[in-house]
Amino acid sequence: MTLKRIAAAALGLALLLALAGPVRAGSPAHIHFVVVPATPKAGLSFVQAMAGLRNGFVKLAGGYTEWVLTQGAAQGAEGVQRENNFSFLVAAERNLTDDLAKLVQRYFEAPRPFVLHWLGDAGHPLAPPSKP
């Protein structure tokens, strides 16, 4: 398991434990932790790529929470590879892992997008996805 995956899993577990106490029983939710590299696809500016990604989150899930700049590391063939990236939480009524990975690849250079998924409860009803 790479350091990035261990860190993301630990972060997700910490978030779940922190929220478990105060959250009342609510709507079932599929929670996604999405890591996005800082390099946009060729031909797109960073602003265009982020706007497309954010709009895609709203269309797919009805909303998102942005954690802005994050850092990660993974073991690569040439040793530990560190990178700056952006992380988002996206909650939805169904598992969107594949859709979110494709969305990241549409706007950013990400051969293997990192999307961590787990089940939880939302303290209030989730926003519906936007209409196309």
DSSP 111-132: SS-EEEEEEEEESSPPPPPPP-
Spatial CB neighbours of 87, under 8 Å, sequence gap ≥ 6: 33, 34, 35, 36, 66, 67, 70
* % pLDDT > 70, the chain: 79
Domains of the chain (ranges, CATH numbers)? 3-20+27-122 (3.30.70.120)
Mean pLDDT of 38-50: 97
Q: Give the 3-state secondary structure of residue 95.
A: coil
89 DSSP 8-state letter: E
Give the C-alpha separation, 13 to 18, whole Å. 9
Q: What is the mean pLDDT of the chain?
A: 85
Whether residue 1 is predicted with pLDDT greater than 90 in this model: the reply is: no
Asked if 104 and 38 count as a contact pair (C-beta separation under 8 A), the reply is no
Picking from 85, 38, 42, 89, the residue whose alpha carbon sits closest to that of residue 64 is 89
Confidence of residue 74 (pLDDT cuts 50, 70, 90): confident
Whether residue 53 is predicted with pLDDT greater than 60 in this model: the reply is: yes
